[in-house]
């Protein structure tokens, strides 16, 4: 078993934890490779470019917050990923820092279970070629620096759903429902639910609301505007500036993400902990 390790280099605690992890793995004779930029900050030689880690490693360890885990998952593809939370509000990172070594031992002895998470696949023409972009959380089209409110035209399986005047549109998985979509007023959806949610960002009309759809639908989005360009982001990373009337299709990806599960926690507990549900006394009530 060989682990690929990716850390959030902007967090000092993640760097300290990574050094402890390297010593722990070496003491047990377990092979590992750090992602190249992480290794550079740690002054460790065992490294490979992030694009090559999946070729050499059997499982991944992410040390950071949800953003680090998202980044790691894109390159881990179908390999198991242990998410260790060294951030703040984390819904994806299953394990605390204190639970890290126990989680690794579970993977080493094969006693772990997996939370399989669906992804989105966005198809768009980039540089005259059709490209398929994957996102675990969400695909977002925003108005960016456009000075007016554009109209977002949305079709489901080729049939018009609606035309929204808004600052943007979020298409999220159940996993991504607790990310940008939630902050824009979208619903919280339990993981493994076979649905997507389409959430408008600051819609012009109060009657426009998020809509939950089956994940077997094909979503087509274009921007109706006389000019301008509009950022297309996948999991927070800019992929292209869309032109007016340029179409993007979004559907369920055939590639899933495998997150190592923390069996001592459940989704209800995560919501109570992260969103402070049921703790009114903390606010003086």
Phi, psi (degrees; rounded to nearest 5) at 55: -70, -30
CA distances from 276 to 30, 116, 178, 188, 282 (A): 38, 26, 14, 15, 9
pTM, two decimal places: 0.89
Burial class (CB in 10 A: 0-12, 13-18, 19+), 221: buried
Res. 103: pLDDT tops 50: yes
Phi, psi (degrees; rounded to nearest 5) at 215: -80, 5
Q: What is the CATH number of domain 120-252?
A: 2.60.200.30
What confidence tier does 282 reach under pLDDT thresholds 50, 70, 90?
low
Sequential DSSP letters for 212-223: EEETT--EEEEE
* Three-state secondary structure call for residue 90: coil
Start and end residues for every CATH 2.60.200.30 domain found in the chain:
120-252
Closest to 163 (Cα-Cα) out of 153, 175, 173 = 153
Start and end residues for every CATH 3.40.50.10330 domain found in the chain:
2-117+256-283
CATH architecture of structural domain 2-117+256-283: 3-Layer(aba) Sandwich (3.40)
Residues assigned a catalytic role: 66
| Tens-digit pLDDT profile for residues 126-173 | 777 889 999 999 999 999 999 999 999 999 999 999 999 999 999 999
**Under 8 Å between Cβ of 164 and 208:** yes
Please name the residues in contact with 95: beta carbons below 8 A apart, sequence gap of 6 or more.
82, 83, 84, 85, 103, 260, 262
Res. 32: pLDDT tops 70: yes
Res. 283: pLDDT tops 80: no
Please name the residues in contact with 215: beta carbons below 8 A apart, sequence gap of 6 or more.
118, 173, 194, 195, 196, 252
- Please report the pLDDT score of residue 280 as a whole number: 59
Closest to 219 (Cα-Cα) out of 179, 164, 259, 148 = 164
| Tens-digit pLDDT profile for residues 182-199 | 999 999 999 889 999 999
267: enclosing H helix or E strand: helix 267-275
């Amino acid at each position: 078993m060989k682990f690929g390790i990716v850390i959030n280099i902007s967090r000092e605690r993640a760097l300290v934890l990574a050094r402890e992890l390297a010593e722990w793995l070496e003491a047990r004779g377990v092979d590992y490779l750090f992602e190249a930029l992480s290794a550079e900050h740690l002054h460790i030689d065992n490294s490979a470019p992030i694009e090559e880690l999946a070729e050499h490693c059997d499982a991944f360890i992410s040390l950071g917050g949800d953003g680090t885990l998202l980044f790691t998952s894109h390159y881990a593809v179908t390999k198991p990923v242990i998410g260790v939370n060294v951030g703040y509000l984390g819904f994806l990172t299953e394990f605390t820092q204190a639970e890290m070594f126990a989680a690794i031992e579970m993977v080493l002895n094969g006693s772990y279970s997996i939370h399989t998470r669906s992804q989105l696949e966005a198809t768009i023409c980039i540089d005259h070629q059709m490209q398929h972009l994957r996102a675990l959380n969400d695909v977002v089209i925003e108005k960016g620096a456009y000075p007016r409110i554009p109209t977002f035209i949305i079709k489901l399986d080729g049939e018009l759903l609606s035309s929204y005047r808004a600052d943007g549109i979020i298409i999220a998985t159940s996993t991504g429902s607790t990310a940008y979509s939630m902050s824009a007023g979208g619903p919280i959806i339990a993981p493994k639910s076979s649905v997507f949610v389409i959430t408008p960002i600051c819609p012009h009309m109060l009657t426009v609301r998020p809509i939950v759809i089956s994940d077997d639908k094909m979503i087509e989005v274009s921007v109706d505007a006389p000019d301008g360009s509009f950022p297309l982001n996948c999991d927070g990373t800019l992929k292209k500036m869309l032109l007016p009337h340029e179409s993007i299709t979004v559907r369920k990806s055939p590639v899933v993400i495998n997150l190592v599960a923390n069996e001592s926690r459940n989704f209800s507990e995560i919501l109570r902990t992260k969103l402070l549900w049921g703790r009114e006394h903390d606010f003086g009530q």
